[in-house]
Structure formats: C-alpha cells, structure tokens
Amino acid sequence: SAVISQKPSRDICQRGTSLTIQCQVDSQVTMMFWYRQQPGQSLTLIATANQGSEATYESGFVIDKFPISRPNLTFSTLTVSNMSPEDSSIYLCSVGTNQETQYFGPGTRLLVL
C-alpha cells in the first residue's frame, strides 16, 4: 500500500484563523479523499479531492469552509477556514487506486481555542 504522510501532525489554533493541512503520497493515486473524525466519533467524508478540477463535497460541507486543492496525483491540501472550537477534530486524508480499498494517513489533530 502507499505511504501517506500528513502535515502538521497536530496543531492548536485560535478561533477565527485558518489552517492548511497537507497530504503527500509516495506514489501516484487515482483518488484522494478528506475525512473528519470528531472526538470519540467515527469518520465522516468531507469531500473527494479531484485532480485538476474542483473538489466534490458531501452534504453539510462547503467549499468556503473547507477549500481543497489537488494539483497533482500525489498531493492534496485541505484548509479549515475561520475556525471555531467545533472544528476541533482529527482530519484524515485517504487514497485509493483503481480498487475501492482506501488507505489512510496518520491524521492531523486540530484543537481550536
């Protein structure tokens, strides 16, 4: 499986600010996704990061709040904009190839004060 890294691994941010999370894969992948895992809960899909076009967002998530970039087949960023304490979560990227199996990065642990 691909080796996936995320930066930063964790951060503490002030409300009203924005944080950009990076996801890097060691090989080209077809699909990249972003998920949120709120404290003590399961994972929820935020969006599919499409290479060369706008991301596809799930219900309840909007581009103004979670802008996503995917400039190539090995890299994507997720920005959490105008943060509030409710945005405190683990943010995870995952990758998929031509199979449906998705592999996850280590996650970015965000605390908003």
List of residues contacting another protein (CB under 8 A):
1, 4, 30-31, 33, 35, 41-45, 48, 58, 92, 94, 100-107
We find the least distance from the C-beta atom of residue 70 to another protein, in angstroms, to be 13
We find the least distance from the C-beta atom of residue 17 to another protein, in angstroms, to be 24
E-strand ranges in the chain read: 4-7, 10-13, 19-25, 31-37, 43-49, 56-57, 68-72, 75-80, 89-96, 102-104, 108-112
Residue nearer to another protein on the CB measure, 57 or 75: 57
Backbone angles phi, psi at 74, to 5 degrees: -125, 5
We find the least distance from the C-beta atom of residue 40 to another protein, in angstroms, to be 9
Residue nearer to another protein on the CB measure, 17 or 105: 105
Whether residue 57 contacts residue 51, with contact meaning beta carbons closer than 8 Å, is answered with no
We find the least distance from the C-beta atom of residue 51 to another protein, in angstroms, to be 12
Measured in whole angstroms, the distance separating CA 52 from the mean position of its chain's CA atoms is 17
Residue nearer to another protein on the CB measure, 14 or 60: 60
Residue nearer to another protein on the CB measure, 76 or 105: 105
Dihedral over alpha carbons 72, 50, 65, 59 (to 10 degrees): -160
